[in-house]
Chains A and B, each alone.
Chain A
Amino acid sequence: MDIQEYFSLVFSDYTLRTITLGTAILGAVTGMLGSFAVLRKQSLLGDAISHAALPGIAIAFLITGTKDSNMLLLGALVSGLIGTFWIRGIIKKTHLKSDTALGLILSLFFGFGMLLLTFIQKQPNANQAGLDKYLFGQAATLVESDVWLMAIVTSICLLVMLVFWKEFKILLFDADYTKTLGFNTKFIDILITSFIVIAIVIGLQTVGVVLMSAMLLAPAAAARQWTNSLAIMVFLAALFGAFSGVFGTAISASQNNLSTGPVIVLVAAVFVIFSFVFSPSRGLLFKQIRFIKNRRDLQLHKTLAFMYNIAETHDDISHPHAIKILNNFQGFTRGTLQKLVKRDYVTLTGNMWNLTEEGFKMASNLYNQQSNNNE
């Protein structure tokens, strides 16, 4: 199947449609909530939470003995939440910094989870195989009920976000100040964190424990490059996330053997790289272009200012001067002179140059203009 075939099949084929819808919704909700995680400087929290979910999955399997994904995700949710509260507890009660706390919980829970997985593997139980799909995810196992669950969770997230938009925004920006205004910051904080945990947990089946945090961070990081408005950033992050889901599924479905989770994450990474390079205001490319252009303009203006100082000594501003006196000015080149001529600031006659009326006016306003540009 090639990509074209995929897109013609996506509406008719039940399995493809389910998987595509699932990954799209997942991408949207993680992108949305990921914006909050990124802006709170809690990018790594997602990674810790997703890894912390693994023992929960294993324990849920050990207790229930089924592979019912809802049961396993419930286990993931519980252990993810425990991990989150432990992280908060460690940061609050000890001198350890947040990165240490995150790393500690991440490796501790993940190590325990792996231990349980190998233990389960050794059990003489036919049902056991397949739990390790939660490591890297397997979108192909998504069924309609999973997608429904994702859709419901996403709707609730969206609703809560819209209702508490103002509270979310002010807490993200300035938590202490929010407290002084009388808001219960703990409640808002727990609300945001819980939703991040839930979003991670519903994505485990598709993307897996190891790569899940990329689903949170990549769309948000890409979206931040394009806008200075929180609302647009959240919207764009959801959009990028959804597209990553769809394209990732398309690519993996059309290249039979590719695992969906990693492909989705790679597509999201392409969004990030593209945004880092090509965003008009924050992107590397345009920053560099602006930088070079500014330098050239400055060079040009400095040359013009130098000429202005010479011309000023004469009553007639367009009195001609020899080109070679310009050699006294460091940074002068033939090129800059040509550019000044092109802009009608200077005229050349033989070996002599003279300022035009316009060039004189420009030069006398240069400093003012510079400061205006900086405003």
Chain B
Amino acid sequence: MNEKIAVKVDDLTVAYNYKPVLWDIDLEIPESVLMAIVGPNGAGKSTLIKSILGILKPIAGSVSIYGKPYEKQRSLVAYVPQKGSVDWDFPTTALDVVMMGTYGSLGWIKRPRQKEKKAALEALEKVGMLSFKNRQISQLSGGQQQRIFLARALVQNASIYFMDEPFQGVDATTEIAIINILKELRKAGKTVIVVHHDLQTVPEYFDWVTFLNVKKIATGPVKDIFNDDNLTKTYGINYKVSIQE
């Protein structure tokens, strides 16, 4: 395992109003892992990602990407928000949404051109959605919409990918297609961080895991720390999960 640290979080504390949602999180995510963030509802999983990405403002703490502050390393980071966070009846096409992934590198005012369009088409092909490129996004199924979001992040050609519940409300085919792409990304040396709900699939999909419930419970390789003890600590009930060896 490569010892380079891709993402480092120090003393991160986030609160909505009075109640802390995340409390004093220290986290080191090594390069080239496929990591799941698991925890019960309200554990702060999405909040953790959003605070790392600067969407939410933490009360305290800092985040660094490859040793530098996040603001200076934006181009290394891509984000796949929850599918339900946008209005899919927005008047635009699949290709157009994927093109948005190029806006960051374009910067202010400059318009996407042929080069950006080509990159977007390639990303669409990678997620198996090329034939839907001109489809109005409301006419896509939930799984297809998720693939479009994934393609938009792929276009960014980042080193670190943050994904908020990419498997939510998608069918089995899409789930497999997505996880295969994520595994490919890891193989290519990228770091992928996924908010995940289905504990059964953690050992199969991921090689790294973080247990979160307001505080960080544990983080490390799935084979070492994905056990009943940590699950019980995180979910608060006597949780038994059978891990197939």
Contact = CB atoms under 8 A, between A and B. Distances in A.
A181 B109 contact: no
Interface stretch (B83-91, B182-190, B194-202, B213-221): B83-91
Given A166-B112, A180-B53, A180-B54, A172 B90 contact: yes
Given A172-B90, A174-B85, A230-B92, A180 B100 contact: no
B92 A174 contact: no
A41 interface: yes
Contacts of B136: 228
Contact of B90 (A173, A178, A182): A173
A226 B126 CA distance: 32
Q: Chain A: interface secondary structure?
A: helix
A125 interface: no
Interface in A16-61: 39, 41
Contact of A173 (B55, B92, B112): B92
A177 B74 contact: no
B86 A174 contact: yes
A296 interface: no
Nearest to B164: A176
Interface string A161-174: 00111110110111
Interface in A167-214: 167, 169-170, 172-174, 176-183
B128 to A, nearest CB: 13
A182 B104 contact: yes
B103 A180 contact: no
A165 B97 CA distance: 14
A179 B91 contact: no
Contact of A181 (B17, B90, B93, B104): B104
B93 A173 contact: no
Interface in A193-246: 224, 227-230, 232-233
Contacts of A179: 53-55
A250 B50 CA distance: 53
B81 A181 contact: no
A97 B85 CA distance: 17
A166 B55 contact: no
B79 interface: yes
Nearest to A167: B108
Nearest to B136: A228
A157 to B, nearest CB: 17
Contacts of A177: 79, 81, 100, 152
B92 A180 contact: no
Contacts of B74: 180-182
A214 B1 CA distance: 61
Nearest to B111: A166
A180 B162 CA distance: 11
Question: Residue among A41, A172, A176, A178 with the most chain B CB within 10 A?
Answer: A176
Contacts of A41: 87
Question: Residue among B50, B77, B78, B109 with the most chain A CB within 10 A?
Answer: B109
Nearest to A178: B103
A371 to B, nearest CB: 13
Contact of B108 (A172, A174, A183, A224): A183
Contacts of A180: 53-55, 74, 77-79, 104
6 closest Cβ contacts across the A-B interface? Answer: A181-B104, A228-B136, A180-B79, A182-B74, A180-B53, A174-B86
Given A39-B90, A163-B109, A173-B87, 11 more contacts: A39-B87, A164-B108, A166-B110, A169-B100, A170-B103, A173-B90, A173-B97, A174-B86, A176-B79, A183-B103, A227-B91
29 contacts: A39-B90, A39-B91, A163-B109, A164-B108, A164-B109, A165-B111, A166-B106, A166-B111, A167-B109, A169-B92, A172-B90, A173-B100, A174-B81, A174-B85, A174-B86, A176-B81, A180-B55, A180-B74, A183-B103, A183-B104, A183-B108, A228-B91, A228-B92, A228-B93, A228-B136, A229-B93, A230-B91, A230-B92, A233-B91
